[in-house]
Each structure stands twice: as structure tokens, then as C-alpha cells.
Amino acid sequence: MPDRAFAYFEGKIVPLSEAKVSVVTHAFNYGTGCFEGIRGYWNEDDRQVYLFRAPEHFDRLRNSAKILRMEFPETTEQLCDLACQLIMLGEFREDCYIRPVVYKKDEKVGVRLHNLEAGLTMFAVPFGPYVDVDTGIRCGVSSWRRVDDNIAPARAKLTGIYVNSALAKTEAEENGFDEAIMLTDDGHVAEGSAENIFLVRRGQLITPPVSDNILEGITRDTVMQLAREDLGILVIERSIDRSELYIADEIFLCGTGAQISPVVEVDRRAVGKGVVGVITRQLQDIYFSVVRGKHAGYRRWCQPALRQDVPSKA
Ligand SMILES: Cc1ncc(COP(=O)(O)O)c(C=O)c1O
């Protein structure tokens, strides 16, 4: 971890190295926590780090916590402000990542949700690309099914659920793929290990509905808005069959970490012509200008994190 990284922990901002929990912590033992991942994008022209759609992430965090029967007193505005403070203190002049976590902090043995106290922590670290966004990735349909809403709700970003993602991701990489695509228990396409999925067929964008065991992704929502409003593309939310992956014209994965990651192969079948698709490239171009605060029409999604003027590099 970088020397200058900081965390919000037990109500105070401390050096990241001091933000520690006990091995007895309930969330550590039982996966009873929830989290978010928020990107901060460095804009060299503005000498500014823009937090992308931070309020939406903190609102989703509150919903995930509610599902785990946890509340926290900090308002979304306060949490956005804390995230900015962590970036300022870390003196980040680069892309970065904010990770808030709400967790059952009691040091008690016994699996349950009730009668346990919630803790909220948040840290900020420098962060580059998570998966390839240039040449396209190769995916495999996972033998691991996506968790069902009545098993562990995928719409809540719960720490424990990421075992499902980790099983799929490792299987995919060990089988020679870059990423996994997980199906629902009834065999429909759900999402990647940490990304939502879109297909292009006959010029239309298709993505699984929120009732098909997916995380209700903020990038997914961003992509849908950009496609409709800026490119005039029809976006359809409907269940997707596995075999549609094999005949799609284009496929991409999207998420805060993955951004927009083109998929050029699924289960050793080329997607379209096996190269990054035209619509995917168009969406990437708009997306990267939006997240860096360069698209005037979407500045409302970009919160400047640095308050004082940042001197130019010598
Ligand atoms: C399982 C899963 N699906 C989808 C996403 C994409 O969500 P978002 O765009 O809000 O980051 C993520 C990443 O957070 C994820 O972990």
C-alpha cells in the first residue's frame, strides 16, 4: 500500500496502516459486510481528480447495508466529502479508487445478522486499469452459477458474495480465459465476476434485467444513458440465452473497475469478427470523456475532489 494513503476508520481519518480490525470481527469470519468501489479520475488539464457518480455509490452502499440489517449515520454528502478528504490527504494526482466498507464490527462468534453493530470504513488508493480496455478480452462461461436472490442477493454488494465471483474468476483464468461470464441458476446470462454485460445485436444493445441476479451497476446505468441519449441506440433489458453470446455482433463488460471492456471471444468462438466492435468503441470514447469530466453534458456526475489549486508539475 502507498505510504501516503489514508482511511476513515472509527470516525476519524488515520494513516491506512493504522486502520485495523481484530481477527474475531464478525464480518471477517462470516462475510457480513458490504462495500463499494468508486473511481477517481485525474484530469491533467483541470489539475483535478473527479469522483465519478459517488452519491449513487453511497446510496447503493446504504441499500446493501439495509439488506444486511445495518445503518450508518453519515449522510451521502458527508461520505462524498470524506472521500475527497482522503484523496486530498493522499495527494493523489493520478487515477485512484475509493473503497468504503460497512461491516458487522462486533467481536463475537455466532452467525446471524441481528443484534450486531455496524462499522464504516473507507480508504483511497491509486488505481489503474482493472481489465484490458484496448484489444479485447476472452471470456468463458463459468461452471459456477451466479448466486440467486433467495440465496444471497446479488443486487447487494456483499463481501461474502464475492466468493462466488472469486470461484468463477479463478476458474476462468486457469482455463486460459481473461474473465468469467456467469449464468443464473435457470441458465440465463447474468454478469461477469465483477462486471455487468451488454450484447449488441442488429444495432441494439441488450443487457440482462435487474431481476436476473445482477448487481444493479452504476456503469451499466451510465452506459444505458449514453447509448440512448448520445448515440440514439435502443437499449433493451431482457433475459439473455447462453447461445446468444455466440452469435452476438459485439459484447462488452462494464463496471467501475473494468470501465468498458470489449469481449472478442466467448467459449472459443469469435464475437462478431473477433475484434473490438464499432458501437463498443463509440461508447468507450464517450465514457472516457465523461468520467474524466471532459463532457460538458455530464459534469453533474463528476465531483471535484481537490479543493485548493494544484500547482503544475515543474
Ligand atoms: C458483480 C458485479 N457486477 C457488476 C459490477 C459493476 O458495478 P458498477 O458499475 O456499479 O461498478 C460490479 C462492480 O462493482 C460487480 O462486482
**From 66, 104, 105, 157, active-site residue:** 157
* pLDDT tens column, 64-98: 999 999 999 999 999 999 999 999 999 999 999 99
Amino acid letter, residue 2 = P
Q: Is residue 306 part of a domain?
A: no
- pTM for the whole structure: 0.96
**Residue 58: which domain range?**
6-126
* pLDDT tens column, 151-209: 999 999 999 999 999 999 999 999 999 999 999 999 999 999 999 999 999 999 999 99
State whether the beta carbon of 196 lies less than 6 angstroms from ligand 1: yes
Could you tell me the maximum CA-CA distance found in the chain, to the nearest angstrom? 58
Amino acid 170: pLDDT = 98
Closest ligand 1 atom to residue 154 Cα is 1
Residues 99 and 190 in one domain: no
The C-alpha cell of 139 is what?
Answer: 471470456
What is the distance between the alpha carbons of residues 300 and 314, in angstroms, rounded to a whole number?
A: 31
Q: How far is the CA of 258 from the centre of ligand 1 (A)?
A: 9
Nearest CA to ligand 1 atom 2: 194
Residues 146 and 278 in one domain: yes
* pLDDT tens column, 212-253: 999 999 999 999 999 999 999 999 999 999 999 999 999 999
Last residue of a domain, one of 91, 107, 126: 126
Going by C-alpha positions, the residue among 164, 205, 167, 207 that lies closest to residue 188 is: 207
What distance, in Å, lies between the first and last C-alpha atoms of the chain? 26
Q: What is the CATH number of the domain that holds 70?
A: 3.30.470.10
DSSP 8-class letter at 292: T
The C-alpha cell of 158 is what?
Answer: 456483499
Amino acid 2: pLDDT = 60
User: By the 8 A CB rule, do 275 and 23 touch?
Assistant: no
Domain count, the chain: 2
Q: Which of 148, 189, 219, 301 gets mutated to test ligand 1 (max ligand atoms within 8 A of its CB)?
A: 219
Residues 96 and 147 in one domain: no
